[in-house]
Amino acid sequence: MKVAYEHIIPSPIDRVIAAYGSEGFYVEKQKASGAISVDILEWETLERGKIRTKARVSEPSRQPAFIRKSDVDTFVDDGVLDPEGGTLNWKITPAAGADKFFLKGCIEFHAQGDSTRVVYRTDLKVKIPLLGSKVEKFALDKVEGETAAQASFLKEWLARE
């Protein structure tokens, strides 16, 4: 299942992309979303100014109670920010059940004068017999609120930086 949500950020595109390229922003964004711990595994600059990030994040479980095995979820967040292309492609790999949960997405940045239109795209597939579609719906129902919270955090970050 795929969803997309758009938000207008009252800041120029170069500042928005620079925030997403900042290790400090990444860690604070994860903690603002409820992360218990954020361990940066890799943070490197690639060709043409792309930035590859990889982090291990632990947070209170967001899984529905009927499939939850722990109160804490740990996952690896792997992404590539392409400032030139105006995109951030990411993929989440859970520590448990990585063969059953496929979560990836793309954040697109579009200049709109002195503002930036940010499009959050999410793609989720759950391969659990009889429950997969219910789990997908449960998770994707939360994406709208999560993207709104991320956009709000981005606005706050840019206002204070």
Give domain status of residue 100, yes or no.
yes
Give domain status of residue 127, yes or no.
yes
- Structural domain of 21: 2-71+80-104+118-160
Instruction: In whole angstroms, give the CA distance from residue 110 to residue 159.
Output: 19
Give domain status of residue 35, yes or no.
yes
* Element of type H or E holding 141: helix 132-160
Give domain status of residue 113, yes or no.
no
User: What confidence score (pLDDT) does residue 158 get?
Assistant: 96
Measuring CA to CA, how many Å separate 12 from each of 4, 19, 83, 109, 110? 21, 11, 13, 10, 9
Residue pointed to by tokens 């100014």: 49
Global confidence as pTM: 0.86
Instruction: In whole angstroms, give the CA distance from residue 23 to residue 25.
Output: 5
User: What confidence score (pLDDT) does residue 161 get?
Assistant: 81
Ramachandran bin of 113, using left for φ above 0, alpha for ψ from -120 to 50, beta for the remaining angles: left
Give domain status of residue 65, yes or no.
yes
User: What confidence score (pLDDT) does residue 154 get?
Assistant: 96
CA 112 to chain centre: 22
User: What confidence score (pLDDT) does residue 71 get?
Assistant: 76
**128-131-135 Cα angle (round to 5):** 95
Give domain status of residue 147, yes or no.
yes
User: What confidence score (pLDDT) does residue 1 get?
Assistant: 74
* Dihedral sign computed on CA atoms, order 129, 131, 133, 136: negative
Give domain status of residue 30, yes or no.
yes
One digit per residue, pLDDT tens: the chain, 161 residues?
Answer: 788 999 999 999 999 999 999 999 999 999 998 999 999 999 999 999 999 999 999 988 766 666 657 778 889 999 999 999 999 999 999 887 656 778 899 999 999 999 999 999 998 877 766 665 666 666 666 778 889 999 999 999 999 98
Domain count for the chain, please give it.
1
CATH number at residue 138: 3.30.530
User: What confidence score (pLDDT) does residue 105 get?
Assistant: 95
